[in-house]
């Protein structure tokens, strides 16, 4: 059975074929893994991260810094420059993905052979359908995403 990184590279191959992204890092771990893509010309990076404990595929979109994919500095405060956001936050409520367990054990995401592939494919479909401008380098949504991230960070401080 294929691991996350192999599945992700197959399901997200449109990044390379349609948008000229290149894979720059792949790491498979026992509890998930990640694949990182960059398009230096567009100034955008995409990091696909699967965490078994979260039962979720994170699709992070990042503005490249000096041609490299960097994560948001921590801790996040009001004055933090946000350069990376979760694509799921960009989607309308009815299009957002949820953790696999939210769909129930009868869902196609629990199929013993293809569950992870089916789940990962849904994230890829949403990025391909709704992220065209972002993938081409239009990060005008970043300020709106930054406010979501900062509000989330603030609410986590109080829990």
- pLDDT, tens digit, 9 for 90 and up, residues 87-129: 999 999 999 999 999 999 999 999 989 999 999 999 999 999 9
C-beta separation of 11 from 57 below 8 A: no
Tell me the domain boundaries of the chain: 4-157
Please state, in angstroms and rounded to a whole number, the distance separating the CA atoms of residues 25 and 28. 10
Q: In the numeric block, which tokens belong to residue 29? A: 């771990």
C-beta separation of 63 from 77 below 8 A: no
Q: Residue 17 pLDDT > 90, yes or no? A: yes
Q: What's the pTM?
A: 0.93
Q: How many CA atoms lie within 13 A of 94 on its CB side?
A: 0
């Amino acid at each position: 059975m294929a691991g996350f990184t192999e599945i992700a590279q197959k399901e997200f191959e449109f990044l390379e074929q349609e948008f000229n992204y290149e894979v720059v890092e792949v790491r498979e771990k026992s509890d998930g893994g990640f694949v990182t893509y960059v398009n230096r010309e567009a100034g955008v990076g995409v990091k696909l991260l699967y965490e078994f404990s979260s039962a979720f595929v994170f699709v992070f979109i990042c503005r490249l810094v000096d041609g490299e994919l960097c994560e948001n500095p921590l801790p996040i405060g009001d004055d933090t420059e946000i350069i990376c956001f979760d694509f799921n936050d960009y989607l309308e409520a009815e299009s957002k993905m949820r953790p696999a367990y939210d769909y129930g054990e009868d869902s196609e995401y629990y199929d013993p052979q293809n569950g992870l592939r089916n789940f990962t494919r849904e994230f890829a479909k949403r990025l391909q359908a709704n992220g065209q401008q972002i993938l081409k380098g239009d990060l005008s949504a970043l300020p709106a995403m930054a406010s979501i991230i900062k509000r989330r960070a603030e609410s986590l401080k109080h829990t």
